[in-house]
Amino acid sequence: MSDLISYQLEDGIATLTLSNGKVNAISPDVIAAFNAALDRAEQDRAIVIITGQPGILSGGYDLKVMTSGAQNAINLVAAGSTLARRMLAHPYPIIVACPGHAVAKGAFILLSSDYRIGVEGPFNIGLNEVQIGMTMHHVGIELARDRLRKSAFHRSVINGEMFDPAGAVDAGFLDKVVPAEQLLATAQTVAQQMKKINMTAHKNTKLKVRKALLETLDAAIETDKQHLM
């Protein structure tokens, strides 16, 4: 499928594994690979599991791209936001098996999914944009506002607070934490359970539940193209 995102289909479950260097940076090529993998999963009518490398899901956008020029940064964020919007409206369940750190865009992958499993350990999960001098983009604010617990929203987005895995469950980034050696087996179990869902009902209900959010994100994507920084 791609050197950046491998695709493994087994028993109606498509596992997408991100592999792009030690921090799994999200680059334009990674986003293109993500979209191609989701296209294939949709054709296969498969439940999706997204995972990364041991110890990390992703450290966020590729900083080389983000610092190479304002338009490059705007284009990358717009592509990433459009991917998040697509994930939220994907017709089949998306599960994330987060093997460790999930920072910035890595954490937004969690917030764009239907079920999120993390692992025990000294891992950081959250939105560090203000820590590294980036004003949070509108899409990020609205996605976090919708998916995070209210008490964690301001701490996360405005203060850049990072959470350990247990704290990430309380904040709303994760649904469950398991020992690392149980991560993929747990994700498979969740996927098998989700096979019992009527997928037409799942898709239609998801779109109803997220209608206001998706409309808000559509407007925010356009705003960010004009006023990202």
The whole-number average pLDDT for the span 113-137 is 96
The answer to whether position 205 is within a domain reads: yes
Q: What's the CATH code of the domain at 9?
A: 3.90.226.10
Tens digit of each residue's pLDDT (9 = 90 or more) over 48-77? 999 999 999 999 999 999 989 989 999 999
pLDDT at 228 over 90: no
Instruction: List helix spans (H) across the chain.
Output: 28-43, 63-66, 70-88, 105-111, 138-147, 150-157, 165-171, 183-194, 199-209, 211-227
The whole-number average pLDDT for the span 127-131 is 95
Q: State the pTM of this model.
A: 0.96
The answer to whether position 86 is within a domain reads: yes
With b meaning 16 or more CB within 10 Å and e meaning fewer, what string describes 76-96?
bbbbbbbbbbbbbbbebbbbb
The answer to whether position 72 is within a domain reads: yes
The answer to whether position 152 is within a domain reads: yes
Amino acid 227: pLDDT: 72
**CA distance readout (Å), 122 to 15, 20, 166, 187:** 25, 22, 10, 21
The answer to whether position 190 is within a domain reads: no
As a whole-number percent, the residues of the chain with pLDDT over 90 amount to: 94
Amino acid 2: pLDDT: 76
User: Structural domain of residue 138, as residue ranges?
Assistant: 5-184+197-227
Number of domains in the chain: 1
pLDDT at 162 over 70: yes
pLDDT-derived band at 226, boundaries 50, 70, 90: confident
Tens digit of each residue's pLDDT (9 = 90 or more) over 14-51? 999 999 999 999 999 999 999 999 999 999 999 999 99
The answer to whether position 110 is within a domain reads: yes
Q: Supply the mean pLDDT for the chain.
A: 96
The answer to whether position 189 is within a domain reads: no
The answer to whether position 192 is within a domain reads: no
DSSP for 160-185, please give it: --EE-HHHHHHHTS-SEEE-GGGHHH
Residues sharing a CB contact under 8 Å with residue 121, sequence separation 6 or more, in sequence order: 100, 165, 180
pLDDT at 229 over 60: no
| Other residues' Cβ atoms within 10 Å of the Cβ of residue 14 | 25
